Structure formats: structure tokens, C-alpha cells
């Protein structure tokens, strides 16, 4: 992916041997400008038709074909950001340097932690390596004392237990309306937390499946929905 000058991959075997190699579905990274030369012929990797719907992942634009192959396009293109938001379209800029775990079977990713980021306002993107980010792992941001806000964007449907626990500087968390499950003790020890923004209705928030102790006894915040607030 991104190797725009690549023309030739030389495989020191036959076409049949190359074809028999087990490969990830996106092994060619969407790169369409090269051939694989074998000792008895040439293999041209499949060419993919991409949608024109832009997505973003850690400061890069991606586009994805119908097979799920991702192609890296450019660094945010025409978006101009003030803080986390594009001034023209409102796109939220994703944080760099977070860590992820791949779910190979489903072709998705799960957020596992801060990785190398030094940011205090964390925005988890919709995509990583062109694949959808669907969940936050258990204890992903636990004891992250430097962070002040976390914004989980569209398609993140599950949040693991203690995902934000003991993040003492955390004041605000944003969830999308697509959220389906919330694990136990999410906010235990988050003494500075005042607001959880849910981008849906109060009825939709109440309908989310939750662990019995999902709020960990923390009562110092409100759930702000588009049609009202729920006081914890």
C-alpha cells in the first residue's frame, strides 16, 4: 500500500506455487501498478473498483472497494481543521498513534489503548487500515491519567469492561447512536467526569444492553442525548 513506484515483484518459483501461497485478502494493499514475475509466467494481481466515499484513519484518507480492500489516498485532502473539527464540513479529526487489535475472521479492528499518542483529546476513527473499527477492548483507556476527552465515532458498537476506569482527568466522553453494549465499571475512578454525550435519543440510550454495574457506582455526571438528559 502506498508503493506507487512499484512495478515488479519477482517470485523465485512457478505461477502455481505463487497462487498456492496463503494470503490475506488485502495483501496487495490495493496497489494496482505491479505484476508478479514467476519463473514460468507473470501474475497480475486483481484490480479493484473503489467507492468514492471517503473515510479517515489516523490523519489519512482511505477508500474501500466492495471486497473490503483499502487504498490509502492522501492526508486529509481539502479538510482544514481548527482543533478536532473541519471548518467546512464538521469532520472529526482522528487521533494518531492509538493501538488496535485485528479480528482477522471478521475483517475488523478493536481499539486496545493509547499506543504512542501523546494527545489528551482522543478521537477514535471509523477505520483503521481501511477496515471498520467496531469495539473498544476491556481496559483500553484504563488509568490514562492525561486524557481529558474521548470521542468514539460511528460503527463502534461495543465497549469493554473498565474501558475508561481510573482516568482521573477525563471530563467528557462521546458515544455514537450505534452503540449496542456497555461493559462493567466503565467510569469507576473517573472523578472528573461530568458529561457523557450520546448521539441518539434517551430511549435509544436506555435500550442499550449494559452490564449491571456498567457505571461502577459513579454518579457525578449526566448522559446528554439529543432530546434530553439522564442524570446518573
**More confident site: 232 or 213:** 213
Burial class (CB in 10 A: 0-12, 13-18, 19+), 197: middle
Angle at 160 (CA atoms; ends 229, 200), nearest 5 degrees:
30
Residues 9-36 pLDDT 10s: 999 999 999 999 998 766 776 676 789 9
Strand pairing report for 181-182 and 228-231: unpaired
pTM: predicted TM-score of the whole model, two decimal places: 0.68
Q: Select the highest-mean-pLDDT range: 69-78, 127-136, 201-210.
A: 201-210
Q: Which candidate, 21, 130, 204, 43, places its Cα nearest to that of 182?
A: 204
| Spatial distance between the Cα atoms of 83 and 40, rounded to a whole number of angstroms | 55
Residue 57 has pLDDT above 60, yes or no: no
**More confident site: 43 or 75:** 43
Would you give the end-to-end CA distance of the chain in angstroms? Answer: 46
Confidence of residue 231 (pLDDT cuts 50, 70, 90): confident
Tell me, what's the pLDDT at 192? 94
Amino acid at each position: 500500500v502506498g508503493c506507487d513506484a512499484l512495478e515488479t515483484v519477482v517470485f523465485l518459483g512457478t505461477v502455481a506455487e505463487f497462487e498456492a501461497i496463503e494470503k490475506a485478502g488485502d495483501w496487495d494493499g490495493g496497489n494496482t501498478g505491479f505484476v508478479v514475475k514467476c519463473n514460468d509466467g507473470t501474475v497480475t494481481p486483481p484490480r479493484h473498483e473503489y467507492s468514492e466515499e471517503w473515510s479517515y484513519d489516523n490523519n489519512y484518507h482511505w477508500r474501500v472497494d466492495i471486497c473490503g480492500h483499502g487504498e490509502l489516498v492522501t492526508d486529509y485532502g481539502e479538510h482544514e481543521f481548527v482543533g478536532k473539527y473541519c471548518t467546512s464540513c464538521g469532520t472529526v479529526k482522528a487521533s494518531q498513534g492509538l493501538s488496535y487489535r485485528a479480528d482477522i475472521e471478521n475483517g475488523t479492528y478493536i481499539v486496545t489503548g493509547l499506543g504512542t499518542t501523546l494527545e489528551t483529546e482522543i478521537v477514535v476513527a471509523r477505520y483503521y487500515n481501511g477496515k471498520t473499527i467496531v469495539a473498544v477492548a476491556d481496559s483500553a483507556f484504563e488509568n490514562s491519567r492525561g486524557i481529558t476527552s474521548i470521542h468514539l465515532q460511528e460503527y463502534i458498537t461495543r465497549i469493554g469492561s473498565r474501558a475508561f476506569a481510573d482516568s482521573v482527568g477525563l471530563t467528557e466522553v462521546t458515544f455514537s447512536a450505534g452503540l449496542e453494549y456497555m461493559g462493567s465499571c466503565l467510569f469507576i475512578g473517573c472523578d472528573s467526569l461530568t458529561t457523557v454525550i450520546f448521539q441518539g435519543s434517551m430511549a435509544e440510550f436506555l435500550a442499550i444492553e449494559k452490564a449491571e454495574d456498567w457505571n461502577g457506582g459513579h454518579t457525578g455526571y449526566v448522559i446528554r442525548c439529543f432530546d434530553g438528559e439522564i442524570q446518573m
